[in-house]
Amino acid sequence: MNILLWILLATFVNGLIGLIGVFTLWMKQKLVDKLIFIMVAFSAGALLSGAFFHLMPESLAETSAMMAFTYLTVGFVIFFLLEKILFWHHCHDGKCDVHPFSYLILIGDAVHNVIDGLVIAASFLVNVPFGIITTLLIMSHEIPQELGNFAVLVYGGFGKVKSLVFNFLAQLSCIIGGVIGFFASGASSAFTPILLPFAAGGFIYIAASDLIPELHKEKSRSKSMISFGFFIIGVLFMVGIKLFLGE
């Protein structure tokens, strides 16, 4: 099979992970609401941990610490500005039908998936078996992260069906990265040092500025401890993938 077809197939299969929340369509709303809040907590931890233990170490391997943290800061500031613009356009009198962080999670995830596509393309250009292994490793951490992203979108006001569609489209941006990586073999080395810390800055902003404050709104001590527990699980899960899979 042509290498480009392998890349397209691998990135499309990875894109299907964006539909992981489909099982919630047949659940009772009360159960979905409970799961959503737990997964928002998990997502907050996974985003922070993914930024600090996955994206930044990879970035520091590609460029200097000064440049990496400069791009991280730029990403953080741009996501702050984007949220302000989205708030001005979508919220009135401080009330939002859809919270701005829902759009931010899609933007951050799309950037992240373009990076994944570049990595998948680069690995298939080495050889097909290496490309398949790399794709499976990427998918292993995408599954829980995409479930968390879906939960954030629903919690932010998108609704289940709309969340599925938009999460899927954001995940499909992996194909764009794959195509760019194939036709411009140097694209990975050119764009990755910029995109990695930029995405990290966005993820840190979303987790620290939007998701964690949402968790603080829970007044029940027992529910607060449960959400904190899943936040820690999210952190440890991403660290575990880094340590045991070397991804």
Average pLDDT of the residues of the chain? 84
Write out the two tokens for 115.
Answer: 């990076």
3-state secondary structure of 60: helix
Condensed to tens digits (0 to 9), the pLDDT of residues 61-74 reads 888 999 999 999 99
Condensed to tens digits (0 to 9), the pLDDT of residues 33-79 reads 788 888 888 888 988 988 898 889 888 988 899 999 999 999 999 98
- Residue 179 near residue 3 (C-beta atoms within 8 A): no
Torsion of CA 123, 126, 130, 131, to 10 degrees: 40
- Residue 235's pLDDT is what? 92
Is the predicted pLDDT of residue 247 greater than 60, yes or no? no
Nearest one of 200, 203, 205, 191 to 72, comparing CA atoms = 200
Which secondary structure element, helix H or strand E, spans residue 19, and what is its range?
Answer: none
- Residue 41 near residue 147 (C-beta atoms within 8 A): no
- Residue 121 near residue 172 (C-beta atoms within 8 A): no
Look-up of token digits 């609401």? 33
- Residue 206 near residue 50 (C-beta atoms within 8 A): no
Instruction: Output the CA angle 195-242-13, nearest 5 degrees.
Output: 65
Condensed to tens digits (0 to 9), the pLDDT of residues 227-242 reads 999 999 989 988 887 7
How far is residue 157's CA from residue 23's CA, in Å, rounded to a whole number? 18
Numbers of helices and strands, H then E, in the chain: 11, 2
Q: Give rounded-to-5 percent helix, strand, coil for the chain.
A: 90, 0, 10
Region for 157 from its dihedrals, namely left if φ exceeds 0, alpha if ψ lies in -120 to 50, beta otherwise? left
pTM of structure: 0.79
Write out the two tokens for 97.
Answer: 């039908």
